[in-house]
Structure 1
Amino acid sequence: MPDTSSVDHLVRLLRLFTMETERYISAFGTDNEMHRTDLNALGAIMEAGQSGDAMTPGRLSRRLQLSAPATSALLDRLESAGHVRRVRSTVDRRRVDLELTDTALDVGRALFAPLAKHLRPAIERYPAEQRALVAEFLTEVAAATRAAADGSTDATATKPRK
């Protein structure tokens, strides 16, 4: 029986969760005739909007690790499908911001509602203080994963709990 509290076991479970999430999103993309990159872009734009940050083509390019021409082709595809609008920034008229349309939000709901339906009961089994600890853990894991993807050599970028 594995030591369920070991770091290696937790890393394995995170890898399993990531693989299952990838499989779920891939199936959704196939069913809806959308490229994985399209779904990643919509997710990145949505996340930026929810955190109050404007998403620009340049930021999206860096976030998805795409070249400028590939990002332009991606945005052209999303714009022609009615998922994204390019609008002049209200802060800096030289900048172009990306906005999701209602169509894109419908795609997001169709993608995440079934997942949330299945995740919610698993999450609700735990008391609020344990969910807060899990939220802190996942926030730090996401930051560590982002640091690894960005090529950071500092493996202690996130501060461990005491």
Structure 2
Amino acid sequence: MANADPLTENWTPIQIEVMQRLRDWAVGFGEMHRHLAVWMRLPVSDANALGQITWAAEAGTPLSPAELSRRIAMTTGATTILLNRLESAGHVQRSRESSDRRRVTLRPTLAAREHARRFLAFAGTEIAATLHAADPEELRVVTAFLSKITEATENANRRLEP
């Protein structure tokens, strides 16, 4: 399949449906993210960065400014300006937590986390209800599939980097 032309490949109806649903989810997630930006009174780029910082911190893998730059597709200089805005507004803290004191770690402030939690409690009720109602086996299958799609996407992105 690695040499298949994705524009001419003979896709099955279910494969097409999966790609359409993934696209629909990505579009919907982007729209929710824009609503979060309005909720937090931030430009979309700042809200995107704050979201990346928050999710990474919640996962126990806080970001460095360089990793944030990569994730949000901004230059390091533009990311520094963005981080200065978020820090001045009380949304982000920079710290030197590792043994390498040169490495800066980004974390959301408690106030920013609480503000985002209030948004998720208000805006995420349908998503939470869907997840809570799902069969655990269905969730395991979806998680396994999404992990494979994510890995394939990461591999493609690595290959495409200069």
TM range (shorter): 0.7 to 0.9
Q: Please state how far the C-alpha of 1:12 moved relative to its aligned partner.
A: 0.5
Please show how residues 1-162 of structure 1 align to structure 2 within 5 Å: 6-148=14-156, 150=157, 152=159
What value does the CA root-mean-square deviation take over the aligned residues? 2.2
In structure 2, the CA distance between the partners of 1:107 and 1:94, relative to structure 1 (3 Å rule), is same
Give the gaps of 5 or more residues in structure 1.
Answer: 154-162
Aligned to 1:160: none
Letter aligned with residue 128 of structure 1: P
Q: Give the 4+ runs in structure 1 shifted more than 6 A.
A: none
CA contact (8 A) 2:96 2:103 kept: yes
Rounded to whole Å, the distance in 2 between the matches of 1:143 and 1:39 is 25
Q: What is the CA-CA distance between 1:81 and the residue it aligns to?
A: 0.7
Q: Percent identity?
A: 32
Per-residue displacement from partner, 1:127-160 (whole Å, max 9, x unpaired)? 2111111122222233333444x2536xxxxxxx
Distance 1:116 1:33 in 2: 18
Does structure 2 retain, via aligned residues, the 8 Å contact 1:45–1:55? yes
Q: State the TM-score, normalizing by the size of structure 2.
A: 0.79
Partners of 2:36 and 2:47 within 8 A in 1: no
Q: Which moved more, 1:16-25 or 1:28-37?
A: 28-37
Deviation at 1:17, TM superposition (A): 1.4
How far off is 1:101 after superposition? 0.5
Change beyond 3 A, Cα 1:77–1:91: same
SS at match of 1:152: helix
Q: 1:35 to 1:145 in 2, by over 3 A?
A: farther
* TM superposition score normalised by structure 1: 0.79
What does residue 6 of structure 2 align with?
none
Moved more, 80-89 or 111-120: 111-120
Shift of the 17–64 alpha-carbon distance from structure 1 to 2, 3 Å rule, reads same
